[in-house]
Structure 1
Amino acid sequence: MNTGKTVFAQLQDHLPLHQFRRCVKRYGGNYKVQSFTCLDQYLCLFFAQLTYRESLRDITTCLLGMQNKLYHMGIRGTIARSTLADANEKRDWRIYQDFAHILIHHARELYSKDSFGVTLQETVYALDSTTIDLCLALFPWAKFRTHKGAVKMHTLLDLRGNIPSFIAITNGKVHDVNILDLLVVESGSFYIMDRGYVDFDRLYAIHQARGFFVIRGKSNLSFRRLYSHSVDKSIGIQCDQTIKLTGKDTAVYYPEPLRRIKYSDPETGKIYVFLTNNLDLAPKVIADLYKSRWQIELFFKWIKQHLRIKAFYGTSENAVKTQIWTAISVYVLIALVKKRLNLDITLYTFLQILSVSVFEKVDILQLVTNSAGTIEDTHTCNQLNLFDL
């Protein structure tokens, strides 16, 4: 029941603020701070992501225009552009990283029973990265190419609910495969990757940790066929083989047998070759698992189109990482609220409604009921249907 709270304040009710304060204390975020606390900073950036503000001046102008509602929105400090800029530059970005991970933990618990299109009890992750282009003159620390800067957001996405379980933000020069060294492999879980992650030394480490991987094979792979299994070619499976690597280095890096599956997509006719260390699942299930990897591409498209991570409010590494982690926490919080309120709308539609209603004093459930039917959902089916269950 609505008790006169703004929509923005109602969203805050779903934030574990006691855990946020622990994150702040862990890194001394409020040390010598008199008026504009880390929570004030976070809420300002949260507002900016929710309403897609374009600059620090845009953020402060909009908030100061609603000065009489700021206290009820949880913002206690004095808002000024310079104050917010200083906070973004100086306050440790790991505060917002740790808090995002707390929200991720809660969200994964809520979505743990959801289906992702493949009938499987084990947890399935998709691993990939997206590049965020930056101007090298303004962001000299973000090395990428001679005249171009960039950061990479390496993401391990839990396909049950499309919740990121691991994110690493690096400069653009870091190769995707290096992120495999940072993963803590969960026994029995599946890791779905594209050809950029083919490194048999690292894949063998996943195997030894009792995890499973499904990855696209490269055309120049040297191997010896040990056994061919019978297949049903009517469903697109061309072959299902047990192989042994014979390359000079690969045979040393991965000494055990692998499974090689060739699959022809009935819709496009394109041929795919998959490598996996799982010897038990049906070959069609392996193909379907790789197909589900597309969800991470949709995740990257969604956050780039609907959250503020392509234009930044500051130029330092600390400010950029603070903004990205705030954007991730907004994404996860909206997914949390949607699940907790059992809303039967897409995440895109939910964000649209919230973005124009943050100052309204109306219950979110009532707001969605009154608004969802009148907002035209203009997103395309291959981009923004992450939560269209």
Structure 2
Amino acid sequence: MNRGKTVFAQLLDFVPFNHFEYLTERFAANHGIKHFSAWSQFICMAYAQLTRRDGLRDLVACLNSQKSKLYHIGIRSKVSRSTLADANERRDWRLFEALGHRLISIALELYRDEDIGLGLKEPLYAMDSTTIDLCLTLFPWAEFRSTKAAVKAHTIIDLRGSIPVFLSITTGKVHDVNLLDVIPFPAGTIVVIDRGYLHFARLYALHQRQVTFVIRAKNNLRFTWIASREVDKATGLRCDQTILLATPKSKTAYPERLRRVSFRDPETGKHLVFLTNRFDLPALTIANIYKNRWQIELFFKWLKQNLAIKHFYGNSLNAVKSQIWIAICVYLLVSIAKKQLNLPASQQILLNLFEVNMFDKTPINQMVANAIQNLDEPDISKQLNLFDF
């Protein structure tokens, strides 16, 4: 089926091309442009993400060195720095955001039945942000500090498959907690968040919308004890209490009961206290829900280390947003390929394989099978001993 297609072309086949053309028309992305289409820009930028190019000059040189291999997937002419830079600066970033949303819906359907081991029937989301530092001289619009520029990627991931379901890119000055005002969490979902989002009025708004939250409490929390439940301290649990907030301001912001779960991690010895509005789940499940929040940190780490978002190929807000959304699209394409082809490898390994085999004409599943069949420890029984004389 994939005979004659490069690995890169096979990966791009997971893009719903008809929908991409519809989006191109919707955002007039090719209006007045003759030689460098929106699809060509997406291919160039996806190539940059997969091969982790350090800059625009590096990217263009590598693209033009593979001109014959890129011809059949949409790049029909030599790519110039000015053409690609202009496209990043001027073509509406919302095209790639909309494509990302379409890929998110595909990935969510594929990972809908993924078991995260907590016995939950409801969707479980983790919310956090990551800060991407920028040069203040080149990005003066990205307000952060007096000597530093930055953007924040406010993100929500579905923990079934670590699929990003929401992404908002703001300047570094925007506080994380403000995003709770704009995100329409569906009723019946569970969201796990760190204590940077501890704002009782906003948490109460989530509670009124029938959204479950699990959040880490601050050390200075003042409360009134109402009741306690027994816990198995061998699991790391220390207490499971029903409380009311004690200060006038917090009582006004959140007037109803909360559940307070204290936990000491047996592995690290770290003491953590969680607040939740969910009373029917076991206390250990509440602790494990928060433990799963670490997946969003792994997602940010994976994104920064393995995709080219540390080096931006344009200085405008439009260029930055386009590049980050294309990076998310590439991440989603890898996730979709992994699930649809049932690839027995991590996303980290898959990304490395795509990078080094991009223009091989091997089916992706065969490429992965070839890569993992010899991952066992090598036989060193016949290896010479360094100290044999």
Q: TM-score band (shorter)?
A: over 0.9
In structure 2, the gaps of 5 or more residues are: 378-389
CA 250–107 in structure 1, closer or farther in 2 if over 3 Å, else same: same
Deviations 1:304-356 (A, max 9, x none): 10000111111111111111110010001001001110011111111111111
Structure 2 counterpart of 1:200: 200
1:371 is aligned with what amino acid?
A
**Contact 1:6 1:358 (8 Å CA) reproduced:** yes
The equivalences for 1:346-385 within 5 A come to: 346-373=346-373
- My pick for the range that moved more, 55-64 or 190-199, is 55-64
Q: Specify the SS of the correspondent of 1:2.
A: coil
Structure 2 counterpart of 1:338: 338
Shift of 1:224: 1.0
CA distance in 1, matches of 2:182, 2:376: 42
CA 375–36 in structure 1, closer or farther in 2 if over 3 Å, else same: farther
Deviations 1:36-82 (A, max 9, x none): 01111011001111111122222222222122222212223542111
Structure 2 counterpart of 1:173: 173
Structure 2 counterpart of 1:235: 235
2:267 is aligned with what amino acid?
E
Structure 2 counterpart of 1:380: none
**Contact 1:6 1:72 (8 Å CA) reproduced:** no
Deviations 1:8-42 (A, max 9, x none): 11112111011112222222111101110111101
- My pick for the range that moved more, 165-174 or 351-360, is 351-360
CA distance in 2, matches of 1:242, 1:30: 58
1:283 is aligned with what amino acid?
A
CA distance in 1, matches of 2:127, 2:208: 19
- 1:153 lines up with 2:153 in the alignment: yes
Q: Specify the SS of the correspondent of 2:49.
A: helix
Q: CA RMSD in A?
A: 1.4
CA distance in 2, matches of 1:240, 1:356: 51
CA distance in 1, matches of 2:348, 2:59: 22
- My pick for the range that moved more, 61-70 or 366-375, is 366-375
TM-score in terms of structure 1 length:
0.94
The equivalences for 1:272-351 within 5 A come to: 272-351=272-351
CA distance in 2, matches of 1:79, 1:311: 19
Q: Specify the SS of the correspondent of 2:343.
A: coil
1:351 is aligned with what amino acid?
L
Number of aligned residue pairs: 377
CA distance in 2, matches of 1:92, 1:285: 44
Structure 1 counterpart of 2:385: none
CA 376–18 in structure 1, closer or farther in 2 if over 3 Å, else same: farther
The equivalences for 1:32-47 within 5 A come to: 32-47=32-47
Which of structure 1's runs of 4+ aligned residues deviate more than 4 A?
A: 374-377
TM-score in terms of structure 2 length:
0.94
- My pick for the range that moved more, 264-273 or 28-37, is 264-273
Q: Identity percentage over the alignment? A: 53
Structure 2 counterpart of 1:13: 13
